[in-house]
Structure 1
Amino acid sequence: MTLNDPELAGSRQFALAQKPRDSATLIVVRHDDNAPRVLLGKRHGSHAFMPNMFVFPGGRLDPADMRLKVGADLHPLVHEKLQLRMRGHRSPSKARGLAIAAVRETYEETGLFLGNIPDGATLANEEWDGLLAATQLDLSHLRFFARAITPPGRTRRFDSRFFVTDARHIGNLDNPRHPGSGELLTPHWFSFAEAQELELPMITRDILKRLQPLMETQSDLPADLPVCFQYYRGKSWREDAL
């Protein structure tokens, strides 16, 4: 990517680069068919950031995400990698909060929950707080796969962490608790080949290419897998391994 990339065309240019906001994304992959499939949804055309593009579920870190207790924590290696080169104050609770944000945003946008919902559980409501009152969060199946900071000049900038999990860890895979918040239109399972034919942000396309060969040979990624970190420095696109 370069600062003249077509994806930046039409995006408002700022005299000073906006500070990236912490965010998290969950990549859910199914292996119950002839080829692995990944969950993507189309962003509404009215959105200021990446309108009409297909993306993974995800969104901004909420301060409340950093205060939640979990039933099963992140793998220690995943927790450690999330804290590497963390902007601002390095915090174990922020690292955990990013993982929780990915789970929360996926639930809010699709109705799918990473974890087990007790049989016969009656939720106080279908919102995130109603779900939390009925179950405990299990982060142990999350794997930290990639990190990317939106280039300067975009309408929105995010410091995004991309987590991967196998769909068998979704407790209500074929029975979403609600139809979604409307952030993503008609979430759908696509093969990797089908996904590459969609209108995708460049970072999403890049991550799919990196993930596909791994998902074709395994369902759960190892916790010690190197994490690809992409960002701009000056006018050059950099790529490091965490």
Structure 2
Amino acid sequence: MTQTDKTRLRDAATVLVVRRGGDGPSVLMGMRGAQAAFMPSKFVFPGGALDAADADVPLLAPLTPDTARRLEAESPAIGPALAAAAIRELWEETGLILGAAGGWPGMVPEDWRGFAEAGFRPTADALRFVFRAITPPGRPRRFDARFFLIDADDLASDPDDFSRACDELSHLQWVRMAEARDLNLPFITEVVLAEVQAFLSERPRGAEPAHVPFFDNRGERSVFRRIG
């Protein structure tokens, strides 16, 4: 693969899984490897780039209308693929299942075989689109990342069972949001945490955000705006 291929802007999806408790919300995080080309040794949320096959994944439940509308404002029809990518990355990196019991129509994509063998189809109705950020130019990897929020209660698997996770993230753990900034975090992760903490304090479980913050680094200048 050429350097141009590695640095081209790619669509991506990231998932914040949140547990609410009496001592405040916690979020699931893991640490990227020291040799990773993108954000080495940083604590991050599960996530990754869109795969070509994600657009064809048969979701058992679709995105909510508000989430789909906001995701597709600039990129029509991308919503289901981003939802599938978010659920797939969550499954691959943590072994956790966001889905419901059900059989798959037709052939199961290779990346989804373990998910399907567990007896589940992916469901997107619990995903809430809460942040978007484009990596600035000049980085070794660049992503147009959409951040999704889900509640741990929406998982179909034990939220403490990471036994089926791949080795891309180490030290998977539930971190109290109030203490997460003590970890080695990327700048954008700190920003997302602050925005989501504010959202959780203002809105009940399952609510849609009033708007979606967006760090847009497509041009020479970084622009911060909000998606209504």
Q: Same fold (TM over 0.5)?
A: yes
Tell me if 1:54 matches 2:40.
Answer: no
Shift of 1:176: 2.9
Q: Count how many residue pairs are aligned between Structure 1 and Structure 2.
A: 217
Tell me if 1:206 matches 2:191.
Answer: yes
Closer/same/farther in 2, CA of residues 198 and 117 from structure 1, 3 Å limit? farther
What do residues 79-98 of structure 1 show as CA deviations (whole Å, max 9, x unaligned)? Answer: 11101123xxx3x2x21111
Which residues of 2 match residues 14-53 of structure 1 at below 5 A? 18-53=7-42
CA distance in 1, matches of 2:116, 2:151: 21
Residue in structure 1 matching 2:205, options 197, 215, 220 = 220
Q: Is the 8 A contact 1:54 1:201 kept in 2?
A: yes
Structure with more of its chain in strand, by fraction: 2
3-state SS in 2 of match to 1:236: coil
CA distance in 2, matches of 1:46, 1:25: 21
Shift of 1:146: 0.7
Q: Which runs of 5+ in 2 are unaligned?
A: 103-107
Letter matched to residue 112 of structure 2: W
CA distance in 2, matches of 1:111, 1:75: 24
Tell me if 1:107 matches 2:96.
Answer: no
Which residues of 2 match residues 1-242 of structure 1 at below 5 A? 18-86=7-75, 90=76, 92=77, 94-117=78-101, 128-133=112-117, 134-174=119-159, 176=161, 178-223=163-208, 225-232=210-217, 234-242=219-227
Letter matched to residue 19 of structure 2: R
Q: Is the 8 A contact 1:117 1:172 kept in 2?
A: no
Q: TM-score, structure 2 length as denominator?
A: 0.87
Q: Which runs of 5+ in 1 are unaligned?
A: 1-13, 119-123
Q: Is the 8 A contact 2:8 2:141 kept in 1?
A: no
Equivalence for 1:10: none
RMSD between aligned residues: 2.4
Letter matched to residue 106 of structure 1: L
